[in-house]
Amino acid sequence: MNKLQTVAICMMFGLPLAMFSAHAVELRSGFGGPEDFGDLSQLPNDDSSSSQLNLPFAINFFGSSYSNFFVNNNGNITFKSQLPQFTPSPFPVTNQPTIAPFWADVDTSSQPGGGAVYVASPNADTFVVTWHNVGYYAGNNDKVNDFQLTLQNRADTGAGNFDIEFRYNQLQWTTGDASGGSGGQGGVPAQAGYDAGDGSNFFVLPGSFSAAVLDLANTSNVSAATPGLWTMAIRNGGTSDGSSAGSPLLPVIVDDTGAYQFGFDIVLDQRIFIDPIVAVGYDYEVSSGPNIVTALFPVVAGDTDGYDIYSLAGVPLGSVAPGGLFDFGSEGVDGFRLLGIDIAAGLDPADTTAFITGLTFGGEGQVSMSMTPITVDTGTGEVPEPSSLALMIAVLGVASVAAGRARQS
């Protein structure tokens, strides 16, 4: 008998993505101050930092609790000390806990036009740092970057838990002149991500240390409808590691074609949570690794009539009630399609625990699998049968790479 491996999939559902238009994500604003992004964190400068600032809530960042931080001009915040370094060092950087939406040689000293760095705390559960239209060293503002970092208190999921959000409205340059760049390009380009400062726990966004870092403004790990938006969940003193529904593995990237691809190791009896976004259905497909043997689906408020299960070729396999287990047989399947998620349920696409599905596999080891969201024109509110899907659905494609954190042993 095959050894079974359990993996749980945390899905976010909402209105069909076809109803959204893809555009650069807007920065959070409405905080007052000269540009409505809050107060200046520091005067115009090159390589300087703010004084030590208070967090509105304490965070547990990989086992260390922090209630203060520094805003560094060069596109990051740190928790132990100021960081004047302008050329990014590859994570991990020992003893310097850092969250960096765009670590590069920002220069705001050229005024007017050099941009500025702002900080705001709109409520007790949120703080926001904005690098608004900032130029690059030495005093260049022919190209400017406009990006933002938000930390959100998630104590509702556990003490010290929080979410990291990066928003990129515009990225035009990658490198300062002193980092080997010319005209804002070349040399040692920017790095984006976070680092616990412990030598092992860190996450680097795609494109870092290359010209492709500019693509962060055009891609997302949330939705194809939100280019420039990247989110990461820190739970139980660690990265979002798939250990619970409150800390799902996020896809590393969702590009303009829109689907999600994951790769992870499965260990017997381990449960892993990953988090893509779908509308009215989705396809599971295993490209390598053991077959899916069973799938356990959740109960969704406002959607009580259950789901229909098909092969990826559109052959009906059966139906399952909300909260029910669907058994694919001892041999399992390398993929299946689920349809029947009611649009009327209106699940929030920003809710990372809206739809949790438990999968068991007929083996163990490395699994590579994709999930392709299915969206429809909802003018009639009807979901087509699989035979007509090709004519009616907007299927979002496949993105790259896997797993919500990078680790180095």
Q: What is the DSSP string of 78-96?
A: ESSS-----SPPPSP-TT-
Q: What is the DSSP string of 227-252?
A: TTEEEEEEETTEE--SSSTTSPBPPS
265 three-class SS: strand
DSSP state of 2: P
In this prediction the pTM is 0.65
Q: What is the pLDDT of residue 248?
A: 55
Identify each DSSP E strand in 289-381 by its residue range: 292-296, 307-310, 316-320, 325-327, 335-339, 355-361, 365-376
Contacts of 45 (CB under 8 A, 6+ apart): 73, 108, 109
Spatial separation of the C-alpha atoms in residues 243 and 272, rounded to whole Å: 5
Which residue numbers in the chain have pLDDT < 70? Answer: 1-24, 239-281, 301-302, 343-356, 371-409
For residue 313, how far is the Cα from the chain centroid?
A: 31
Domain borders along the chain are: 5-19+253-407, 39-217
Q: What is the pLDDT of residue 309?
A: 92
